[in-house]
Structure 1
Amino acid sequence: MDFICLNFSFMLRFSQFNWTEFEGEFWYCQVVFDAETSEEAGLVPPADDSNPSTGGCGPFSWSKLIPLSPD
Protein backbone atom coordinates (compact mmCIF):
# COMPACT_ATOMS: atom_id res chain seq x y z
CA MET A 1 0.00 0.00 0.00
CA ASP A 2 1.45 3.37 -1.00
CA PHE A 3 0.53 6.93 0.01
CA ILE A 4 1.63 10.19 -1.62
CA CYS A 5 1.26 13.26 0.61
CA LEU A 6 2.53 16.76 1.26
CA ASN A 7 5.58 16.81 3.50
CA PHE A 8 5.32 19.48 6.20
CA SER A 9 8.96 19.06 7.22
CA PHE A 10 10.04 20.02 3.69
CA MET A 11 7.45 22.65 2.85
CA LEU A 12 5.69 22.28 -0.48
CA ARG A 13 7.43 18.94 -1.16
CA PHE A 14 5.84 15.52 -1.50
CA SER A 15 6.56 12.18 0.15
CA GLN A 16 5.84 8.57 -0.66
CA PHE A 17 5.21 6.12 2.17
CA ASN A 18 4.98 2.36 1.69
CA TRP A 19 3.11 0.23 4.23
CA THR A 20 3.18 -3.54 4.53
CA GLU A 21 2.17 -6.40 6.80
CA PHE A 22 4.78 -9.09 7.37
CA GLU A 23 4.30 -12.07 9.67
CA GLY A 24 1.46 -10.32 11.52
CA GLU A 25 3.38 -7.07 12.08
CA PHE A 26 2.91 -3.72 10.33
CA TRP A 27 5.81 -1.74 8.86
CA TYR A 28 6.29 1.53 6.93
CA CYS A 29 9.04 3.01 4.79
CA GLN A 30 9.36 6.62 3.62
CA VAL A 31 10.65 6.11 0.08
CA VAL A 32 10.53 9.77 -1.01
CA PHE A 33 10.63 12.87 1.19
CA ASP A 34 11.43 15.82 -1.09
CA ALA A 35 9.74 15.42 -4.48
CA GLU A 36 8.63 18.64 -6.17
CA THR A 37 5.32 17.15 -7.38
CA SER A 38 3.03 14.31 -6.35
CA GLU A 39 3.61 12.79 -9.79
CA GLU A 40 7.38 12.77 -9.21
CA ALA A 41 6.92 11.11 -5.81
CA GLY A 42 4.68 8.50 -7.40
CA LEU A 43 7.25 7.57 -10.05
CA VAL A 44 9.73 6.20 -7.51
CA PRO A 45 9.51 2.39 -7.27
CA PRO A 46 8.18 1.04 -3.98
CA ALA A 47 10.51 -0.34 -1.32
CA ASP A 48 11.30 -4.06 -1.16
CA ASP A 49 8.77 -5.42 1.34
CA SER A 50 9.78 -9.08 1.06
CA ASN A 51 11.25 -9.01 4.60
CA PRO A 52 11.08 -5.56 6.23
CA SER A 53 12.68 -6.86 9.43
CA THR A 54 16.00 -7.23 7.56
CA GLY A 55 15.96 -4.14 5.30
CA GLY A 56 14.69 -3.12 1.89
CA CYS A 57 13.88 0.55 2.52
CA GLY A 58 16.71 1.91 0.40
CA PRO A 59 19.67 2.81 2.64
CA PHE A 60 17.38 2.84 5.70
CA SER A 61 15.47 0.22 7.63
CA TRP A 62 11.72 -0.21 7.67
CA SER A 63 9.99 1.16 10.78
CA LYS A 64 7.83 -1.30 12.73
CA LEU A 65 4.55 -0.05 14.14
CA ILE A 66 3.93 -1.24 17.67
CA PRO A 67 0.35 -1.20 18.98
CA LEU A 68 -0.24 0.51 22.30
CA SER A 69 -2.35 -1.38 24.77
CA PRO A 70 -4.93 0.63 26.70
CA ASP A 71 -4.03 1.31 30.32
Structure 2
Amino acid sequence: MSGVSATNGMRQNKIIGLILLVVPSFFLIFFSYLLLFTEWDILTIKTTLIIIVGILMSVLIWMGYTMVTAPREK
Protein backbone atom coordinates (compact mmCIF):
# COMPACT_ATOMS: atom_id res chain seq x y z
CA MET A 1 0.00 0.00 0.00
CA SER A 2 2.80 2.47 0.74
CA GLY A 3 4.02 2.20 -2.86
CA VAL A 4 0.63 3.26 -4.18
CA SER A 5 0.46 6.38 -2.01
CA ALA A 6 4.03 7.31 -2.91
CA THR A 7 3.15 7.05 -6.60
CA ASN A 8 0.07 9.21 -6.13
CA GLY A 9 2.13 11.78 -4.23
CA MET A 10 4.73 11.91 -7.00
CA ARG A 11 2.00 12.28 -9.63
CA GLN A 12 0.39 15.08 -7.62
CA ASN A 13 3.77 16.86 -7.35
CA LYS A 14 4.22 16.66 -11.12
CA ILE A 15 0.73 18.10 -11.70
CA ILE A 16 1.44 20.97 -9.29
CA GLY A 17 4.81 21.51 -11.00
CA LEU A 18 3.13 21.65 -14.40
CA ILE A 19 0.60 24.17 -13.12
CA LEU A 20 3.43 26.28 -11.65
CA LEU A 21 5.16 26.14 -15.03
CA VAL A 22 2.18 26.99 -17.24
CA VAL A 23 0.16 29.56 -15.25
CA PRO A 24 3.01 32.04 -14.60
CA SER A 25 4.13 31.70 -18.23
CA PHE A 26 0.69 32.68 -19.49
CA PHE A 27 0.46 35.45 -16.90
CA LEU A 28 3.82 36.88 -18.05
CA ILE A 29 2.67 36.84 -21.67
CA PHE A 30 -0.65 38.49 -20.77
CA PHE A 31 1.07 41.09 -18.56
CA SER A 32 3.60 41.91 -21.29
CA TYR A 33 0.78 42.25 -23.81
CA LEU A 34 -1.08 44.70 -21.53
CA LEU A 35 2.06 46.79 -21.03
CA LEU A 36 3.29 46.84 -24.61
CA PHE A 37 0.34 46.54 -26.96
CA THR A 38 -2.70 48.17 -25.33
CA GLU A 39 -3.69 51.62 -24.16
CA TRP A 40 -3.96 50.22 -20.60
CA ASP A 41 -0.21 50.37 -19.96
CA ILE A 42 -0.34 53.10 -17.28
CA LEU A 43 -3.33 51.48 -15.54
CA THR A 44 -1.49 48.14 -15.55
CA ILE A 45 1.59 49.72 -13.96
CA LYS A 46 -0.50 51.55 -11.35
CA THR A 47 -2.47 48.43 -10.46
CA THR A 48 0.69 46.35 -10.18
CA LEU A 49 2.33 48.90 -7.90
CA ILE A 50 -0.75 49.12 -5.67
CA ILE A 51 -0.79 45.33 -5.32
CA ILE A 52 2.95 45.12 -4.54
CA VAL A 53 2.88 47.98 -2.02
CA GLY A 54 -0.30 46.56 -0.48
CA ILE A 55 1.32 43.16 0.04
CA LEU A 56 4.47 44.67 1.54
CA MET A 57 2.52 46.96 3.87
CA SER A 58 0.29 44.06 4.93
CA VAL A 59 3.37 42.06 5.94
CA LEU A 60 4.70 45.02 7.95
CA ILE A 61 1.30 45.57 9.59
CA TRP A 62 1.15 41.88 10.51
CA MET A 63 4.68 42.02 11.97
CA GLY A 64 3.82 45.10 14.01
CA TYR A 65 0.57 43.58 15.28
CA THR A 66 2.39 40.40 16.26
CA MET A 67 5.03 42.38 18.17
CA VAL A 68 2.45 44.54 19.97
CA THR A 69 0.21 41.64 20.99
CA ALA A 70 2.98 39.21 21.96
CA PRO A 71 2.97 38.22 25.65
CA ARG A 72 5.72 39.67 27.82
CA GLU A 73 8.84 37.64 28.36
CA LYS A 74 9.42 36.54 31.95
TM-score greater than 0.5 by the shorter chain:
no
Report the TM-score when normalising by structure 2.
Answer: 0.19
Instruction: From the two aligned structures, give the one with the greater strand fraction.
Output: 1
Q: Which has the larger radius of gyration?
A: 2
- Structure with bigger RCO (C-alpha 8 Å, 6+ apart): 1
Instruction: From the two aligned structures, give the one with the greater helix fraction.
Output: 2
